[in-house]
Amino acid sequence: MVEVDHIGIAVRSLEASRGFYEGLGLAVGPPETVEAEQVRVAMVPTGNGRVELLEATKEDSVIGRFLASRGEGMHHVALRVGDVDGEFARMKRDGIRVVSERVRVGAGGHRYFFVHPASTGGVLVEIVGR
Ligand code: CO
């Protein structure tokens, strides 16, 4: 079954943003730097799914440019699938606009790729494996 894995939110500062989630009684995980994406990530587990707080480590990075042009806000929705490689191949075959040139390994060792908003109803979608 495909499930919502997390909602990615671009923030200027993990430290400044965590208080809201902690106020809800949620535990904000330790920040993890993903060099390939030039982000520091903190996961906030919820009952089902997670919130992923994303802070840029460089201004000239995907999240840095997003913050500069649009400010803080929702960046992507991540859906978890059983066969991430199979979905990557299927989407490429079906002409769905896949942003990533290949499946990558991200925070926590999860494998993922991104799908362009033009193919998803206007939202950047991350497909993650189990
Ligand atoms: Co994500």
Ligand 1 geometric centre to CA of 81 (Å): 14
Ligand 1 geometric centre to CA of 52 (Å): 6
Ligand 1 geometric centre to CA of 94 (Å): 23
pLDDT of residue 108: 73
Q: How many CA atoms lie within 13 A of 78 on its CB side?
A: 22
Give the Cα separation of 102 and 79 in Å (integer).
17
* Owner of token pair 């978890």: 80
Is this prediction's pTM over 0.75?
Answer: yes
* H or E stretch covering 20: helix 14-23
Ligand 1 geometric centre to CA of 103 (Å): 13
Ligand 1 geometric centre to CA of 77 (Å): 7
pLDDT of residue 36: 84
pLDDT of residue 110: 85
Ligand 1 geometric centre to CA of 76 (Å): 7
Beta strand pairing status for 73-80 and 32-34? Answer: unpaired
Per-residue pLDDT of the chain (130 residues; tens, 9 = 90+): 999 999 999 999 999 999 999 999 999 999 999 888 899 999 999 999 999 999 999 999 999 999 999 999 999 999 999 999 999 999 999 999 999 999 998 767 889 999 999 999 999 999 999 8
